[in-house]
């Protein structure tokens, strides 16, 4: 269950706030927008119902059991950010078997990962939707070459996740008999965390992938509801859009939980690539977009709060609060005589982090800085599934609000062309 | 040696660009601004000349040699971000002895670090300038309590870095005879990486701290130069300020090197806290500020490039290019028949990452997105020292450009007061 608290918006009684009336006025658009979203024929919310999705993942994982100490995902952007988020959110910092995600082509990073894995105990998961991403294929050839030189059977050390029919990686899987998984053509990379792209690595490191999908399906119910009271993704998008139009072109996502630090990185791609567009559906040049900013509580109170409270009032703050942190650790009262520490007496670390968030939120509100809070019960697979679909759904609605296509990315082509030309 | 390339700004021949003439016109301000900066009596550029700075660090480190497998920094914001940056930039991902930086009060994170350290082989470095930061003191009491319960001598397992005279931590050091280091009162937390705050942890994990200071002193020469041709920090600040005034209130810092990923986090605090201010030097309400955004090449091409190329034209892009990546790894040509991979033939990973950056930069320029590049020879202690002082110096100049005090942070007090009130 995710609860959206947006009371503080109406507490700000000037142009920086948002009244309930303003939000409700947009409700009339819900039906039309839902229809438009269906017409775009995107698979991110239907694929999660496909029960066969987990069969292949579970059977592969059962077969892999005990064979590997290291899993290395080779992928970038939508092929890696969801996996990084799942690993960081739901596994121990030093869990085994160890998963590495190589999402850069920096040779130093590659070397350092190579230093700590043993090839014969490693499975490389090569993820590229198109099957042609140069960064991923370069890394693949590098590690494939190492395995070849060590006489290791590629069928035991590589698995591919790519388009079901097209691209170099699909062809290679067919030619060489390497086990492969599919990214459905109608699910964009940045919407693909709940396909095999995220589910396979998640299952291999022991996550409850069934729960991820259950959570996502629960949120899907809300996302497809034509009742604006129930449709949480629509309400979130409404707030984001109205405030963007009121001069808040930045959205700061601040979970108050260390484990969720990489959730904001996943969301950065989703929001930036989906909504940042030059032309609208009518072909007019509009250059719209919301700039996502990642932050973390309580840490960034000591880094960003000064700007957020006193700088230009140009941001919507989206906080994430975890009701049950899982551990109730009291702060020991080692210096009972010290008056300056009195306020920490009898306080747990959970209570401290929750209270610091409350202090931050109240301070922003008093300074007329619009903020909302998403509250979750605890960090687990079910919640993560809900959160992924909440933000994906809201992003789909944002596309309709801005009258743009949220599912393409034409603006990245130019740099790719220049790069290829410079290399040739 | 750091080279600033700003040619692309004048290639953009409209309101989004910046001509050489516009930049040069600001040169007249340099003398006045230098004088004003001196009058603020900040120590961040004089402390680095103090040769005694390293004596205590070196002698402590010599004494600690072989005694610890784990170092844990307890600190937040300016007490941790520089250290995290140094560790990530200059040590192997899995270097030993291992340094952990606990910069959050999340009880889950604390537990996970506790799981992997052995108390009897751990040194806790407690860092708080004021000596009263609640997050840091809570963590300190937690780990101190664990050590007490295990009958470990606190003098062997704790060291403090704090104000030379004031605060709870200084008092505790004196009362209990715990070794302590000093943060000079005239060096703000976010400017303190080149004091004992950053130097002690850096030295303990084997970094060449002398070179850090040498690099910083080399940049200091430029920072204090009244010749605008030489003064790199002034030129950087000029560009940041002029473009902020031309509707670019965001600065995206994008190093194209995985090792520099945390440099941008360090810079986020420096820029956000220093320049984000409600009132100017005359006491007028101005709400100025530049919002820093962290990015990473080539990874974020697959996350943020779409927005940066096509969204609102509201950002200055600062790229960081590393000439010598240290490793020349060729991309193996495993599929010589595959035409779609032809452009990777004979290419190294360094060449690929450099060319992708060039493609990104050219694409942004063609789309009228202002961008500059800082080029460094390689990632080492000397360069990091230069970079720290380059950005610190530029930030000091930005304070003068915006006519605000870059060295205070009044906007964080309100949330602290509310938090204390809520806890009591």
Mean model confidence pLDDT for chain A: 97
pLDDT (average), residues B106-121: 96
Helix locations, B150-208, DSSP H: 154-157, 168-176, 196-204
B94 pLDDT exceeds 90? no
Q: Which residue in the set A104, A353, A418 is minimally distant from B258, CB to CB? A: A104
Rounded Cα–Cα distance for residues B43 and B46 (Å): 5
Do B193 and B159 form a contact (C-beta atoms < 8 A)? no
State what percent of residues in chain A have pLDDT above 90: 99
Cβ atoms A368, A14 nearer than 8 A: yes
Q: Hunting for tokens 């670019």 — which residue is that?
A: B248
Percent of chain B at pLDDT > 90 equals 99
Instruction: Tell me the average pLDDT across A372-384.
Output: 98
Residue of A41, A92, A282, A302 marked active site: A302
Lookup result for tokens 């009121």:
A246
CA–CA gap between residue A312 and residue B402 (Å, rounded): 13
Continuous segment of H or E residues that includes residue A273: helix A263-275
Residues 43-82 of B with CB under 8 A from A: 76-78, 81
Q: Do A312 and B249 touch (CB under 8 A)?
A: yes
Spatial contact of A204 and A35, defined as CB atoms under 8 Å apart: no
Q: Which pLDDT score is estimated for B424?
A: 87
**Separation of alpha carbons B297 and B355, rounded Å:** 11
CA torsion B419→B268→A101→B74, rounded to 10°?
Answer: -50
Best of A302, A330, A336 to disrupt the B interface (most B CBs within 10 Å) is A302
Q: Pick the closest to residue B296 from A129, A109, A194 (CA basis).
A: A109
User: ω into residue B293 within 30 of 0, thus cis?
Assistant: no
Which pLDDT band holds residue A42 (cuts at 50, 70, 90)? Answer: very high
Rounded to two decimals, the pTM is 0.98
Nearest to A249 among B273, B306, B314 (CB): B314
pLDDT reported for residue A372: 98
In DSSP terms, which residues pair with B124 in a beta bridge? B72, B158
CB atoms within 10 A of CB B417: 12
B47: which 2 tokens? 């402390």
Task: List chain B residues with CB under 8 Å of A422.
Answer: 355, 358-359
B420 touches chain A (CB under 8 A): yes
**Residue contact B93–A109, C-beta within 8 A:** yes
Give percent above pLDDT 70 in chain A.
Answer: 100
User: What domains sit in chain B, N to C, each tagged with a CATH number?
Assistant: 2-40+224-411 (3.40.50.10490), 47-210 (3.40.50.10490)
What pLDDT score does B69 carry?
97
Q: Which of B142, B276, B363 sits opposite A310 (nearest CB)?
A: B276
Known active-site residue A245: no
Average pLDDT of span A239-244 = 98
Residue of B nearest to A356 (CA): B419
Q: Is A247 on the interface with B (CB under 8 A)?
A: no
> With 0-12 CB in 10 A as exposed, 13-18 as middle and 19+ as buried, what is A245?
exposed
Inter-chain CB proximity A144 and B332 less than 8 Å:
yes
Residue B218 CB neighbours (<10 A): 17
Confidence (pLDDT) at A97 = 94
Dihedral angle over CA of A323, A327, A328, A329, nearest 10: -130
Omega into A298 within 30° of 0, i.e. cis?
A: yes
Query: What radius of gyration, in Å, describes the C-alpha atoms of chain B?
Result: 23
């Amino acid at each position: 269950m995710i609860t959206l608290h947006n009371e503080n918006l109406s507490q700000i009684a000037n142009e920086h706030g948002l009244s309930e009336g303003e939000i409700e006025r947009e409700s009339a658009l819900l039906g039309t927008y839902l229809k438009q979203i269906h017409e775009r024929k995107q698979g991110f919310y239907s694929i999660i119902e496909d029960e066969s999705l987990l069969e292949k993942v579970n059977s592969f994982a059962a077969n892999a059991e005990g064979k590997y100490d290291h899993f290395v995902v080779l992928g970038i952007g939508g092929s890696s950010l969801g996996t990084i988020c799942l690993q960081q959110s739901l596994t121990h910092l030093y869990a085994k078997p160890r998963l590495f995600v190589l999402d850069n082509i920096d040779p130093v990073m590659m070397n350092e990962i190579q230093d700590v894995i043993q090839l014969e105990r490693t499975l490389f998961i090569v993820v590229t939707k198109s099957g042609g991403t140069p960064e991923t294929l370069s890394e693949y050839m590098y590690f494939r070459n190492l395995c070849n030189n060590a006489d290791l059977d590629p069928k035991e050390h590589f698995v591919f996740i790519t388009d079901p029919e097209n691209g170099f990686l699909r062809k290679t899987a067919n030619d060489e008999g390497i086990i492969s998984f599919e990214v459905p053509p109608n699910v964009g990379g940045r919407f693909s965390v709940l396909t095999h792209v995220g589910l396979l690595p998640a299952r291999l490191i022991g996550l409850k992938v069934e729960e991820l999908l259950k959570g996502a399906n629960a949120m899907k119910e809300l996302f497809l509801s034509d009742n604006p009271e129930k449709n949480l993704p629509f309400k979130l998008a409404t707030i984001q859009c109205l405030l963007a139009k009121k001069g808040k072109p930045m959205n700061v996502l601040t979970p108050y939980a260390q484990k969720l630090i990489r959730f904001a990185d996943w969301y950065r791609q989703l929001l930036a690539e989906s909504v940042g567009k030059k032309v609208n559906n009518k072909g007019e040049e509009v250059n719209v977009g919301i700039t996502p900013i990642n932050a973390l509580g309580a840490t960034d109170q000591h880094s960003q709060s000064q700007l957020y409270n006193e700088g230009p009032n140009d941001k919507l703050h989206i906080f994430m609060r975890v009701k049950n942190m899982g551990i109730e650790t009291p702060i020991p009262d080692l210096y009972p005589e010290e008056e300056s520490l009195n306020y920490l007496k009898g306080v747990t670390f959970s209570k401290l982090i929750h209270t610091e968030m409350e202090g931050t939120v109240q301070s922003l509100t008093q300074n007329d800085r619009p903020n909302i809070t998403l509250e979750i019960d605890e960090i687990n697979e079910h919640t993560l599934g809900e959160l992924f679909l909440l933000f994906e759904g809201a992003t789909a609605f944002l596309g309709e609000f801005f009258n743009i296509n949220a599912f393409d990315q034409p603006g990245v082509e130019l740099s790719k062309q220049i790069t290829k030309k410079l290399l040739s």
